[in-house]
Structure 1
């Protein structure tokens, strides 16, 4: 099961089936996923011990219903075909990542695949075209094939891979450190070549989260001020970071349109994938996109799915065991904490980027969340007394949380529209 889902992960990111002539048109991804699924069915590692295992299928059902409520019952099967593989791969990778070793291997695979895409970007920036045959964008920003044909998507992947590479380097020997730290610099250069403002802000956010955890809020705030000034020097697009700038203004208008879609279709939204039927631009915000397309029901489920993942890692980070009474548990936590912190920083960076992108259904996002969920399920077995998360306890909290976040989005959009 584990080798097959890793192969699926590699094919999803590197995507040789999209540019190698012998593989074009061959259903490589579906075949590998089916084989992994059959292996999962026969595995004893199957697990459903987390709220996300109930929430994600429910979210898929809401996406299907959103099509039916907007007059296209055939769209239910369309959504099942589009998002169903994401649900299946989430279940498989979660079950495969319940051991620390498998989590670390998965992180290494994601980081190595990201290095490949970053090298492609460097070649693209240097020669004007990469080995895939894809040229650099008209605006000089690098791009890849398939789901990474947008520079912003590349930026999101590189952002998620940076903390993984740093963690792997910190826990490797001399040659490993050379590989992973060199790869980290390559990823950071790749982020610069994407010239994605969301990705650059995410790098600053990740650094701030690490400093905040290690040195406190004051040091993190100082780093944020200095870092933002440095980013403006590094990126021409960061120098244009203003609500009145054309690209930013288009994003705010899209957010405004998305909120109006929610108001007109509050329960199940305008239908998954239908945002651009109502607005010329996509939402440019993963939260607004779900709210507009899946309505309040879908938004509550998606928000709970994401927030549970953050909560899981935070529980590991704040876990404490008395070294005198439980020395083994205390020693185990010292091993678990760096990995939990790396994954927590990954999520912070990834969702900072996702706040400025419409990537609510992007499969890589769910594969990384699957790794997090699998890690927490395993951590509960390794850390005695680690709090259990049950959806039956306090599930209602996500309703007021969703309402509060929607109000926050309305206030943010109102402010940005006034300053534009």
Structure 2
């Protein structure tokens, strides 16, 4: 099961089936996922010990209902075929990542795949075309094939896997440390080549949260301002970081339209995938997209799914043992907290970038969420004093959390629209 889902991960990111002759019509991804799912069905590692295992299938049901309530019953099957693989991959990958060794191995695969895409970006920037046959995009921005044909998606991947590269470098010996540091440098350069403002800001968010954790809020804020100035000096698009700039203003307008779609269809939204039927541009915000397309019901479920991942990692980082630990146990706990911090930073980078992109249904998001969920299930086995999260006890928290976040979005959009005038 584990090897099959890792193969699925490699095929999802590197995507040789999208550019190698003879593989165009071969259903590699569905075949590998089907085999992995069959292995999961008969595996002793199969688990449902986290709220996410209920929330994600529930979100799939809401996606299907959002089509039916908007007059297209046949769209329910379309949503099942479109988002169903992400749900299956989540269940398999989470079950496979309950041991620390497998989490670290999965990080290695994520980083190595990202490095391959970073090398493709460098070749593309130098020669005008990558080995996939894909040329540079508009304004000389790098791009890849398939789900990474948008420079912003490439940037999102690099930012989400960057903390993993730093973690691996810290744990490795001298030679491998150099290799992982080099990989991190390549991904940072890849972010620069994408010229994605969202990805660059996400890098600052990841760095800022790490420094905040280590050195405090004042130091993080000061260095964050320095980093922002440096990025504006490096990137022409960062100098246009203003609500009144044409691209940014278009995004804010899309957020505004998305919030109005929610007001007009508050329960199940306008239907999954239907945002551009009501607005020329997509939402350019993963939170607004879910809210507009699936309504309050879908938004509560999705926000809870996302929120539990952050909550779990913070629980590990704040864990204090109730009894005295020997040297070996103390060392293990330090390692657990480093893993949790790494996954938390990956989540922060992922959702900081996703805040400026419509990537609510992107498979990479759910694969990283699966790593987080699986890790916490395993951590509770190793550290039984960690809290057990249950929807039966805490589901109600996500109602006020959703209402508060929607209010915050309205306030943010109102401020940005007024600033843009």
The answer, yes or no, to whether TM exceeds 0.5 is yes
CA drift of 1:328 comes to: 5.7
User: 1:84 — aligned with what?
Assistant: 84
Separation (CA, whole Å) in 1 of partners of 2:228 and 2:338:
26
Greater than 2 Å deviation, 4+ residue runs: 322-332
Task: Check if 1:337 corresponds to 2:314.
Answer: no
User: 1:251 — aligned with what?
Assistant: 251
User: 1:318 — aligned with what?
Assistant: 318
CA drift of 1:256 comes to: 0.3
User: 2:233 — aligned with what?
Assistant: 233
Secondary structure of the residue aligned to 2:324 is coil
**Pair 1:213–1:323, CA change in 2 (3 A):** farther
User: 2:155 — aligned with what?
Assistant: 155
Secondary structure of the residue aligned to 1:393 is helix
Separation (CA, whole Å) in 2 of partners of 1:178 and 1:208:
24
User: 1:166 — aligned with what?
Assistant: 166
Task: Check if 1:371 corresponds to 2:371.
Answer: yes
How large is the RMSD of aligned CA atoms in angstroms?
1.0
User: 1:406 — aligned with what?
Assistant: 406
Separation (CA, whole Å) in 2 of partners of 1:390 and 1:416:
38
User: 2:110 — aligned with what?
Assistant: 110
CA drift of 1:55 comes to: 0.3
- Using the TM superposition, name which of 323-332 and 140-149 deviates more: 323-332
**Residue deviations 1:176-199 (CA, integer Å, cap 9, x gap):** 111100010000000000000010
Task: In structure 2, list runs of 5 or more residues that go unmatched.
Answer: none
Secondary structure of the residue aligned to 2:133 is coil
- Using the TM superposition, name which of 249-258 and 329-338 deviates more: 329-338
User: 1:62 — aligned with what?
Assistant: 62
User: 2:38 — aligned with what?
Assistant: 38
Output the TM-score relative to the length of structure 2: 0.98
Secondary structure of the residue aligned to 1:267 is coil
**Residue deviations 1:114-139 (CA, integer Å, cap 9, x gap):** 00001000000000000000000021
User: 1:17 — aligned with what?
Assistant: 17
CA drift of 1:393 comes to: 1.2
User: 1:52 — aligned with what?
Assistant: 52
Task: In structure 1, list runs of 5 or more residues that go unmatched.
Answer: none
- C-alpha contact 1:93 1:367 (8 A) present in aligned 2: yes
Secondary structure of the residue aligned to 1:139 is helix
Separation (CA, whole Å) in 2 of partners of 1:145 and 1:327:
48
Separation (CA, whole Å) in 2 of partners of 1:400 and 1:413:
20
Q: Please give the residue correspondences for 1:123-162 in structure 2 after superposition, counting only pairs within 5 Å.
A: 123-162=123-162
Separation (CA, whole Å) in 2 of partners of 1:301 and 1:43:
28
User: 1:71 — aligned with what?
Assistant: 71
User: 1:204 — aligned with what?
Assistant: 204
Separation (CA, whole Å) in 2 of partners of 1:261 and 1:234:
37
- C-alpha contact 1:309 1:373 (8 A) present in aligned 2: yes
**Residue deviations 1:369-398 (CA, integer Å, cap 9, x gap):** 000000000000111311111111121010
**Pair 1:202–1:178, CA change in 2 (3 A):** same
Separation (CA, whole Å) in 1 of partners of 2:370 and 2:319:
21
CA drift of 1:225 comes to: 1.1
Separation (CA, whole Å) in 1 of partners of 2:160 and 2:95:
21
**Residue deviations 1:262-281 (CA, integer Å, cap 9, x gap):** 00100000000000000000
**Residue deviations 1:321-362 (CA, integer Å, cap 9, x gap):** 256367665442112111111110110111000000000000
User: 1:269 — aligned with what?
Assistant: 269
Separation (CA, whole Å) in 1 of partners of 2:377 and 2:213:
23
- C-alpha contact 1:243 1:419 (8 A) present in aligned 2: yes
User: 1:100 — aligned with what?
Assistant: 100
Q: Please give the residue correspondences for 1:291-310 in structure 2 after superposition, counting only pairs within 5 Å.
A: 291-310=291-310
Aligned length: 420
**Pair 1:326–1:399, CA change in 2 (3 A):** farther
Secondary structure of the residue aligned to 2:392 is coil
